[in-house]
Amino acid sequence: MSAVHFFPTTPTPSISTAKATPFKNLDSCSTMAELKQNHAYIIKLGLSSDNDAMGRVIKFCALSKSGDLNYALKVFALLPHPDAFIYNTMFRGYLQAHLYKNCIILYAHMLENFVTPNKFTFPPVIRACCFDSAVKEAKQVHAHVIKHGYSRDSFCQNNLIHMYVNFDSLEEAKWVFDNLDKKDDVSWTTLISGYSQWGYLDEAFGVFELMPVKSSAMWNAIIAACVQNNRFHEAFALFDRMRKENVEMDNFVAASMLSACTGLGALEQGEWIYEYIKTNTIKLDTKLATTIIDMFCKCGRLDKAFEVFNGLPSKGVSSWNSMIGGFAMHGKGKEALKLLKEMEGEKRVTPDHVTFLNVLGACAHSGLVEEGRYYFSYMTKVYGISPRMEHYGCLVDLLGRAGLLDEAKKVIDEMPMKADVGVLGALLGACKIHGNLDIAEEIGKQVIELEPDNSGRYVLLANLYTKAGRWEEVAHIRKLMNDRGVKKEAGFSMIELEGTISKFIAGGRSHPEAKEIYAKIEEILGCIKVMYDVGEEESENPLNYHSEKLAIAYGLLKTKAGETIRITKNLRVCKDCHEVSKLTSRVYDREIVVRDRNRFHHFKGGVCSCNDYW
């Protein structure tokens, strides 16, 4: 009897066992090459129509950084019955690739194939409708949310609130919000931010006050709303209230409050917040670091801004841009260009269009005409950055300030796009500086029609006509303003002393110490009369009581000898105030720092940092 040999055999794997290894490999893929190898193996196993297997392939291709959306589309197209998970993955892939219309079309395809949406379907589709401004489709999706029973799902509902806010349909947004069973932080902040976005700050306050428990995120939402709407005093009041309620300041609130400090020129408050950030280990991310630099630059402490900038372990492009912009607004053009060279030496950052906008602005404020021309071409030749409208505005401003009005006008005439009011306004301002009525008359009429509600445009042209003695045209401009209901923008100046901000308007007497302030102005004018050659008949000149003079007088009353006086003004400093500020700095041996609409003026020893070039 011959021996019988038994050979061990490999058991046939079950489907579940066969799936396990390749599925595991799919989930650990890091490149498309790996993915394709595993995909081929899955097809070999006969799983090319398996939604679980193909869903993993599509997920990697559609959502991974090293994926391939086109490959995902090919796999998807071959599936006989894709399920909701696969559709949802494709929605997210389209959204990630900014293919919003494709996302909406695919949702219609899903419904046509009788695949039931789930709660993960609606958020990406709703967001796609927002980005594509698909209002009609968005309302249909909202109806489907209700139809499929997700009207109580906060994730879906929060996206709907955001959607209606995006469409400026605030009544619908509030309706969705009011019908939410459970409102979370996202619900509250989305509605508050939505009202703020469209300028309805009082409504935002109303929602905020309804909140039973106000988290740090809620406080930031309402404070940020105030800052975005330039209601800085209310932001400070809320901040004080927040601290009294023992809510910790986080990096978001800090950034919002630093922006409020920037808006008001509130250096002392800004310094306090900066110290708080340092001592309370608030994470100094790129955004917060940039906000700190911007605050110090715009509150007149360029040295402090540069100190913070140099102390950053890692500098993003926004930090570089903010510091270059800081040098620009303080009239330190050469320092701005030097910093650009340092930025170009860094391998991790590349200058962008904002960088060169600040560089051109620095050249404009410092009279660096040749350098400005050079960098206007340089940004395109070296970095491929095509000039935008704002860059042309800076170039026109640069040439105009330097008195090269014909060249500035030629730039406008040869621009590849039609000049906007900012570009034309830059040339009009230059015409006023150099008294060129011919160009001003042509440009001024265009500017007024482009921006009919801006009083400054009318006033500028009227002043030029006045200087030329053309009284009929002056009367016509004033009548045009009256007929259109355009009111001249009121000038005001602010000064912060001991954490309190005082605001002055020209000729205003509402300040509790108005009597002492006006007496101080008379003292100042008396001291500089000889140098400034003010005649007795001019002692009651309204120019004597411009807002920045009142603020400077108050600063002299309230500060000690040797202390710097810092003023923030909403309009451009006039020639008279500029001259008086120079002489006051000399007579009282004080540094006076004035931030106007365009730039900073550092008055010291009878001269200004702008060298009378502003």
What is the DSSP track for 397-412? HHHHHTT-HHHHHHHH
The token pair at 413 is 């005439």
**pLDDT at residue 283, as a whole number:** 86
d(CA 250, CA 277): 9
**pLDDT at residue 435, as a whole number:** 87
Residue of 543 and 222 predicted with greater confidence: 222
Give residue 22's pLDDT band: very low, low, confident or very high (50, 70, 90).
low
CA atoms within 13 A on the CB side of 472: 0
Answer whether residue 542 shows pLDDT above 70.
no
d(CA 530, CA 535): 9
Q: Which of 432, 420, 371 is nearest to 398 (CA)?
A: 371
The answer to whether 493 touches 551, Cβ cutoff 8 Å, is: yes
Gyration radius of the chain's alpha carbons: 32
What structural domains does the chain harbor? Answer: 15-78 (no CATH), 83-182 (1.25.40), 185-240 (no CATH), 249-309 (no CATH), 315-386 (no CATH), 411-489 (1.25.40.10), 494-608 (no CATH)
Answer whether residue 584 shows pLDDT above 90.
yes
pTM greater than 0.85 (yes/no): no
Number of Cβ atoms within 10 Å of the Cβ of 305: 23
Residue identified by tokens 């003004």 is 569
- Listed range (34-43, 291-300, 416-425, 538-547) with the worst mean pLDDT: 538-547
List all residues 6 or more positions away from 376 whose beta carbon is below 8 Å from its beta carbon: 356, 360, 387, 391, 395
Percentage of the residues of the chain whose pLDDT score is greater than 90: 68
- Listed range (9-18, 182-191, 554-563) with the worst mean pLDDT: 9-18
For 350-373, what is the mean pLDDT?
A: 95
- For the sheet with 565-569, list strands across it: 500-505, 492-497, 565-569, 592-595, 600-604, 607-608
Residue identified by tokens 């900066």 is 274
CA distance to 118, 222, 513, 545, per residue, from 519 (Å) = 74, 41, 10, 11
The token pair at 504 is 């002055």
Give residue 285's pLDDT band: very low, low, confident or very high (50, 70, 90).
confident
Give residue 532's pLDDT band: very low, low, confident or very high (50, 70, 90).
low
